[in-house]
Chain A
Amino acid sequence: MKRGLFLPVVVTFGFVFLYAPIVSLVVFSFNQSRLVTVWGGFSTKWYGELFANPQVLDAGLLSLRVAACSASIALVLGTLCAVALTRFRRFRGRTALGAMVSAPLVMPDVITGLSLLLLFVAMESLFGWPAGRGEVTIIIAHSTFCMAYVTVVVQSRLSDLDLSLEEAAQDLGAIPVRVFFDITLPIIAPALLSSWLLSFTLSLDDLVIASFVSGPGSSTLPMVIFSKIKLGVSPDVNALATIIIGVVALGVAIAAVLQSRRR
């Protein structure tokens, strides 16, 4: 049958397309030779070189701090925003809030970065804050665009939620804050976790916005990688990529095991 053959071929091609670059990254990270594409024997020396490079380590730590902070801020603000948009029928500024929170989803990164940088410059000249740019300004910028993703995820979970549970708690005399923390929050906890992880990843991955809003001396990991790549291919970048891929794969494996155990 024609249909029986066509689909598997395309799908296999698709998965090879998705994974071939990743496999090549991993393989050539263990290459002895400096030439990334010519095999010169097995070696782990690029990993040693990577860990001996303080610039990469500092940038990695900065990126992790920024990602953790902005994911947490985005989680709080995005959840509040999602609650406001799903639970409050009408209030002044509802349309504006809805439009503003979803706009970063369609906004090109270069515009987000440029506009925030110009804001920070204007604010600094008006009231002296933020003095210079660095970690704080990157966290603000990342929180703003991650918030949009948190809102989308939490909003869809909240609108699926059975309203009668919240109503029952309210009928039993719980005030709205209590209802939220005792009933709503435990139910939407998985959505909160996944949107925190999503924000964390997006922040860790961002090059363009961070390049605009960071100042001298505070380079995030993607900025360091980008400047290394622009100079040409270098095997320690492959080593870094392998470590990141390993961590992600490990995380996914743990999540899969936990999920299957719950069932």
Chain B
Amino acid sequence: MGELEWQCRLGADLMTTALVDPAPPSPPWRPWGRLRRWLALAGFSGRWAVILPPLLWLLVFFLVPLVVVIKIGFSASIVGQPPYLPLLTFSPQGDVQMTLHLSNFIFLAQDHLYLDAYLSSLKIAAISTVLALFIGYPMAYFIARSPDRLRNMLLMLVILPFWSSFLLRVYAWIGLLKNNGVINNFLGLFHIGPFTLLYTDFAVYLGIVYTYLPFMILPLYTNLVKLDGALLEASADLGAKPFRTFLSVTLPLSLPGIVAGSMLVFIPAIGEYVIPQLLGGPSTLMIGRVLWDEFFTNRDWPVASAVAIAMLVAVVAPLLFLQRAQNAVVER
């Protein structure tokens, strides 16, 4: 009944408006509105104005480059500009012929250099990550347990080096580690040494740990600062010694922080170029360095691309695995 009444009144309103405005003004010409309607008809709404710029940018400058790398990785190398043969060739009859050269990959598999470089990168990254964890964990724990004022200051001190140049901080170690460098001069005062520190694997570990230590400390800190002090007290009340409490309460609870921090160190360390180049010896093999030399020194673009593809497969695959492991840990 009420609905009927409402409809009647609506009808009356419509009639009155029709009577009051005998000549409605012509609708303003709005090209944008019409364009929008057309776009909407084509399944295109305003949100695409937000989505499209980053999407297109990434398609052109991220996805297409990877396709180009894969393409060149399968091309034969020649001496010339550009130094590779095209994949697709057009015969005079108009047929398209595609030649995939696996030679670059066979070369990679046969030459021990590449596998060794990959394994050695994994080893160096893993050892550095463990070292960074051993130094970073106590620091993060200490910062998380400090009073507010001190905590903010210490945190800032951890972040500060990150804002200054990475290259210059690696450079600083050259001056410290050289044969007549600061450390050897200092040890010389006590008639110890001199030791060969620079251009060794040791220097590379040191450089990686030094560079990525803040990346280890920060996620650990955000995790440890959330730790409920009551749990520690409860454990102590139940008679556990501090070390026992640490092993069975703090450590398991901080596992997500450990995984996050380790990944932030491990991932960039694998592909590292600058640190092994500046601090490592000629025998320090790392895959990033091999790719660089292949490209800039040997000017062999196809082999460099093949190394990049192998690196993508070999680095991205373990990372996906790690990512899944991390998600599992976080969910638990």
Contact = CB atoms under 8 A, between A and B. Distances in A.
Are A and B a genuine interacting pair, yes or no? yes
B175 A37 contact: yes
Interface in B139-198: 139, 141-143, 156-158, 160-169, 171-176, 178, 180-182, 185
A106 interface: yes
B65 A77 contact: no
Interface stretch (A19-27, A44-52, A163-171, A185-193): A19-27
A80 B55 CA distance: 10
Nearest to B84: A118
Contacts, number: 218
B54 A115 contact: no
Contact of A240 (B62, B66, B160, B168): B168
Nearest to B309: A111
B156 A252 contact: yes
Given A36-B175, A109-B271, A115 B65 contact: yes
A81 B175 CA distance: 43
B54 A97 contact: yes
Interface string A195-210: 0000001001101100
B-side binding surface: helix, strand, loop or mixed? helix
Chain A contact patch, size range: 35 or more
A37 B278 contact: no
B259 interface: no
Nearest to A14: B139
A109 B269 CA distance: 11
Given A25-B168, A100-B63, A118-B68, A78 B54 contact: yes
B51 A84 contact: yes
Chain B contact patch, size range: 35 or more
B312 interface: yes
B283 to A, nearest CB: 18
B305 interface: yes
A129 interface: no
A31 B27 CA distance: 79
Interface string A225-252: 1100110010001101100110011011
A252 B292 CA distance: 35
Contacts of A83: 50
A81 B190 CA distance: 59
Given A17-B210, A21-B169, A28-B175, A248 B47 contact: no
A161 interface: no
Contacts of B157: 15, 18-19
Given A106-B316, A121-B82, A225-B167, A248 B160 contact: yes
Interface string A114-158: 111011011001000000000000001101100100000000000
Interface string B59-70: 101111110110
Contact of A244 (B47, B68, B164): B164
A91 interface: yes
B267 interface: yes
Contact of B181 (A37, A212, A245): A37
B213 A18 contact: yes
Nearest to A15: B157
A7 interface: yes
Given A140-B61, A248-B164, A17 B54 contact: no
18 contacts: A14-B138, A20-B176, A21-B169, A21-B175, A25-B172, A81-B54, A84-B50, A100-B63, A103-B62, A104-B62, A110-B271, A122-B68, A225-B167, A226-B167, A233-B171, A241-B164, A241-B165, A244-B168
Given A10-B142, A238-B175, 19 more contacts: A14-B136, A17-B213, A76-B53, A80-B54, A81-B54, A84-B50, A88-B47, A88-B51, A91-B51, A110-B273, A110-B308, A115-B66, A118-B301, A119-B61, A121-B82, A205-B165, A208-B288, A222-B165, A244-B164
Q: Which 10 A-B pairs have the closest CB atoms?
A: A108-B271, A21-B172, A115-B65, A81-B54, A119-B65, A241-B168, A10-B138, A100-B58, A11-B142, A14-B139
